[in-house]
């Protein structure tokens, strides 16, 4: 590195640091105004058919609470008349099938930002026989929560600590229920059934835990919801809350959350209720579809900070999902530079691994790599099959491109058939790049042998993996999206690597004989 390079490298690092600090200072070092938020797009889907006699269905809908923020909600159900009305703490959505129709789909979609909550319970709070005013209903016995049953009373008494500490009691009750065997029961398990069997799914455990709290006059209630994870599912979840020191404190004795729940829990309703109801005699199914996305903080904070980059991107109409991949490409390119110039690995195409890694963020790594390898290998087979035709170069590439496109369609179809959602998005891969890679693969095979070609392909996959690690890291995405000036640091590293004089790792092996001889002298 010459002085010029040093000045440039450190100048860029210094500039990036100063810019970051200035912006951080302007917003009082409050990261909430810069960091994008993770929100979930949740579709509550219900399908009705064979309902010529009419149908009414209802679903309990998520509302904004102290720990979850509903950003927007929409009903997309053209065949149904819809109303949403409050019912106690809950919101009930009702749909009535329009006359002369015998079915249709109900889609209620919300964008929600849930947050993790965690409570500290003061160990000095004592159990008491006084129930806070207005909460009598939450210590009462019900058909499924048999607070007065002898078994429940007996267990509650045995778990009651001598100190009378609410925290200790909650802990013993929680541990007792958590120690149960898991049993994926369908339908409802009452508190007493769960207690007697010593095993239960989420709702049996939660009812028993509610019963145990109520037995000691601690108000408690069930909470119904969904655990958010990308994809589709029909499984809902139940946990419970106890009213301790003036707050409703959540407990999930199935997933080991004591006085806390994580951010990916979506609350749908409170109470011992069923999420869905429908008239009998119809064919009915439901499903939750969930997709996480990053949104600018302004959407949530309702604050547009002049120094934030978000409003600019929003005005340009750039989707954050696209932007976060775009902004990671320089980092992916830097990873490749390291592998080429420092490690000395040979890959197909200079920046091909970055492109494949970026495309793989839509499919997932394994689907992406599987698709990449399958398409390159099969296309190279076609390349070999048409070799005897002695075609000119461009028409030959056109045929390989056609092959690549066809393989993508086939893989998408296979993915759909076998429920591999990653493979269905393989069409987002750079088609021409794949076709040219297949061509290079065949040429390399002819000139340097199949072993060398396969080795290069394998190294390409290795580099794709590291590019993928860099590009798909949400932490790095957030960092670069919030502080785009850090790209200057990326450039500084590129300059530094651009003056890297050292032997590449592979060259240490290649020139070992000379290195050994040079050492001796």
Partner 1 sequence: MTARSWWDAVCGVSRDVLGLNRRNLEYVYPLNPRWAYVLADDKRRAKAELTAHGLPTAPTLACFDRFEQLARLDDTLRAHDEFVVKPAHGRAGRGVLVIVSRAGDGFVTAGGRRLSLDHLRRHIADIVFGVFSLDRADAALVEPRLVPSGFFAALAPAGLADIRIITVDGVPKAAMIRAPTVASDGRANIHQGAVGIAVDLATGALRGGWHRRSRVAEHPDTGHPLSGIGIPGWAGIVDIARRVSAVLPLRYLGLDIIVDAARGPLILEFNARPGLEIQNVLGVPLGRALGPVGPGRAGARA
Binding site residues, partner 1, CB under 8 A: 341, 344, 390, 392-393, 447-448, 499-504, 507, 510-511, 513-515, 517-519
Rounded to a whole number of angstroms, the minimum distance from the CB of residue 435 to partner 1 is 13
Nearer to partner 1, 306 or 501 (CB): 501
Rounded to a whole number of angstroms, the minimum distance from the CB of residue 333 to partner 1 is 17
Nearer to partner 1, 366 or 500 (CB): 500
Classify burial at 190, counting beta carbons within 10 Å of its beta carbon; exposed 0-12, middle 13-18, buried 19 or more: buried
| 297 phi, psi to nearest 5 deg | -65, -25
Nearer to partner 1, 166 or 435 (CB): 435
Closest Cα to residue 182, out of 158, 165, 163, 198? Answer: 198
Nearer to partner 1, 122 or 507 (CB): 507
Nearer to partner 1, 179 or 449 (CB): 449
Nearer to partner 1, 263 or 454 (CB): 454
Rounded to a whole number of angstroms, the minimum distance from the CB of residue 433 to partner 1 is 15
Nearer to partner 1, 398 or 517 (CB): 517
Give the DSSP H or E segment for 75. strand 68-75
Rounded to a whole number of angstroms, the minimum distance from the CB of residue 344 to partner 1 is 8
Rounded to a whole number of angstroms, the minimum distance from the CB of residue 451 to partner 1 is 13
CA distance 60 to 308: 37
Rounded to a whole number of angstroms, the minimum distance from the CB of residue 518 to partner 1 is 5
Give the DSSP H or E segment for 453. helix 450-472
Task: Kindly give the residue spans of alpha helices, DSSP state H, lying in 73-190.
Answer: 150-159, 166-178
- The position carrying tokens 């390291």 is 338
Q: Which long-range contacts (CB under 8 A, 24 or more apart) does 126-130 make?
A: 126/163, 126/164, 126/165, 126/166, 127/160, 127/164, 127/165, 127/166, 127/169, 127/216, 127/217, 127/218, 128/217, 129/217, 130/217
Nearer to partner 1, 329 or 431 (CB): 431
357, 363, 113, 255 alpha-carbon torsion, rounded to 10°? -110
Cβ density class 209-230: b for 16+ within 10 Å, e for less:
bbbbbbbbbbbbbbbbbbbbee
- The position carrying tokens 């239960």 is 200
CB atoms within 10 A of CB 368: 26
CA distance 359 to 432: 13
Nearer to partner 1, 316 or 392 (CB): 392
Nearer to partner 1, 29 or 500 (CB): 500
Rounded to a whole number of angstroms, the minimum distance from the CB of residue 466 to partner 1 is 20
Question: Would you give the DSSP letter of residue 280?
Answer: T
Three-state DSSP at 409 gives: helix
Q: Are the beta carbons of 167 and 122 closer than 8 angstroms? A: yes
Rounded to a whole number of angstroms, the minimum distance from the CB of residue 394 to partner 1 is 8
Rounded to a whole number of angstroms, the minimum distance from the CB of residue 491 to partner 1 is 18
Rounded to a whole number of angstroms, the minimum distance from the CB of residue 504 to partner 1 is 6
Three-state DSSP at 429 gives: coil
Nearer to partner 1, 358 or 400 (CB): 400
Rounded to a whole number of angstroms, the minimum distance from the CB of residue 434 to partner 1 is 17
CA distance 266 to 113: 9
Closest Cα to residue 430, out of 393, 412, 405? Answer: 405
């Amino acid at each position: 590195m010459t002085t010029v390079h040093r000045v440039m490298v450190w100048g860029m690092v210094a500039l990036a640091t100063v810019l970051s600090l200035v912006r951080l200072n302007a917003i009082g070092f409050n990261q909430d105004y810069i960091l994008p938020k993770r929100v979930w797009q949740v579709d509550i889907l219900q399908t009705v058919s064979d309902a010529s006699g009419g149908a009414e269905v209802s679903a309990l809908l998520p509302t904004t609470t102290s720990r979850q923020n509903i950003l927007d909600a929409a009903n997309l159900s053209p065949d149904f008349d819809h109303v949403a009305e409050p019912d106690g703490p809950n919101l009930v959505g009702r749909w009535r099938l329009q006359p002369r129709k015998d079915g249709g789909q109900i889609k209620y979609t919300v964008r929600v930002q849930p947050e993790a909550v965690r409570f500290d319970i003061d160990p000095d709070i004592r159990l008491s026989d006084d129930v806070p005013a207005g909460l009598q209903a939450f210590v009462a016995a019900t058909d499924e929560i048999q607070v007065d049953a002898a078994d429940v009373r007996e267990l509650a008494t045995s778990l009651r600590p001598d100190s009378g500490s609410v925290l200790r009691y909650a802990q013993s009750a929680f541990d007792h229920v958590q120690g149960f065997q898991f049993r994926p029961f369908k339908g409802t398990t009452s508190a007493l059934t769960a207690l007697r069997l010593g095993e239960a799914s989420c709702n049996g455990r939660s009812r028993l835990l509610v019963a145990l709290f109520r037995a000691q006059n601690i108000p408690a209630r069930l909470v119904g919801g969904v655990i958010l994870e990308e994809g589709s599912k029909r499984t809902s979840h139940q946990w419970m809350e106890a009213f301790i020191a003036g707050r409703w404190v959540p407990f999930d004795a199935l997933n080991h959350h004591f006085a806390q729940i994580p951010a990916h829990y979506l609350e749908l309703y409170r109470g011992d209720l069923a999420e869905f109801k429908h008239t009998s005699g119809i064919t009915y199914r439901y499903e939750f579809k969930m997709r996480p996305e990053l949104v600018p903080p302004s959407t949530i904070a309702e604050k547009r900070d002049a120094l934030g980059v978000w409003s600019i991107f929003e005005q340009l109409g750039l989707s954050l999902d696209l932007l976060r991949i775009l902004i990671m490409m320089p980092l992916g390119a830097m990873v490749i530079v390291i592998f080429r110039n420092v490690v000395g690995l040979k890959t197909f195409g200079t920046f091909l691994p970055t492109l494949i890694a970026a495309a793989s963020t839509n499919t997932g790594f394994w689907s992406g790599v599987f698709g990449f390898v399958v398409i390159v290998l099969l296309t190279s087979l076609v390349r070999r099959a048409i070799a005897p035709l002695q075609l000119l170069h461009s028409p030959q590439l056109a045929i390989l491109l056609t092959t690549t496109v066809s393989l993508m369609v086939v893989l998408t179809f296979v993915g759909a058939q076998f429920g591999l959602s990653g493979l269905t998005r393989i069409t987002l891969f750079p088609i021409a790049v794949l076709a040219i890679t297949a061509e290079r693969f065949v040429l390399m095979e002819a000139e340097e042998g199949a072993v060398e070609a396969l080795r290069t392909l394998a190294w390409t996959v290795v580099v794709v993996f590291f590019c993928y690690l860099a590009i798909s890291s949400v932490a790095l995405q957030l960092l670069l999206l919030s502080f785009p000036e850090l790209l200057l640091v990326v450039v500084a590293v590129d300059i530094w690597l651009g003056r890297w004089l050292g032997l590449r790792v592979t060259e240490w092996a290649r020139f070992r004989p000379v290195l050994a001889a040079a050492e001796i002298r």
